[in-house]
Amino acid sequence: MSERTFVRRFHETTGATPHRWLLEQRLALAEELLESTDLPVGAVAERSGIGSADTLRHHFARRRRLSPQAYRLSFRAR
């Protein structure tokens, strides 16, 4: 299967590109780690496959409209 065909079929099945889908999975894992652990943001980024704390902050701000720390604090306030 060609890369183009794979991307097209993946998008038809999931509604997202492979990159976007993978990023969303990594952000979901980061959210879970922020909710359930006291790991520093850098460790959460590393364990979720995002890489660095800066990259996690960037994607959290764009997709969730919060910082990882603000997410953690809002979740704990519930």
Domains and CATH numbers, the chain: 21-76 (1.10.10.60)
Residue 70 is predicted with a pLDDT of 93
Contact between residue 68 and residue 57 where contact means Cβ atoms under 8 Å apart: yes
What is the mean predicted confidence (pLDDT) over 1-5? 93
Count of positions (residues) in the chain: 78
Tell me which H or E stretch contains 74.
Answer: helix 68-76
What is the mean predicted confidence (pLDDT) over 8-33? 96
Place of tokens 């994607």: 59
Check residue 39 and give left, alpha or beta (phi > 0: left; psi -120 to 50: alpha). beta
Place of tokens 């952000």: 27
Per-residue pLDDT reduced to its tens digit, 24-76:
999 999 999 999 999 999 999 999 999 999 999 999 999 989 999 999 988 77
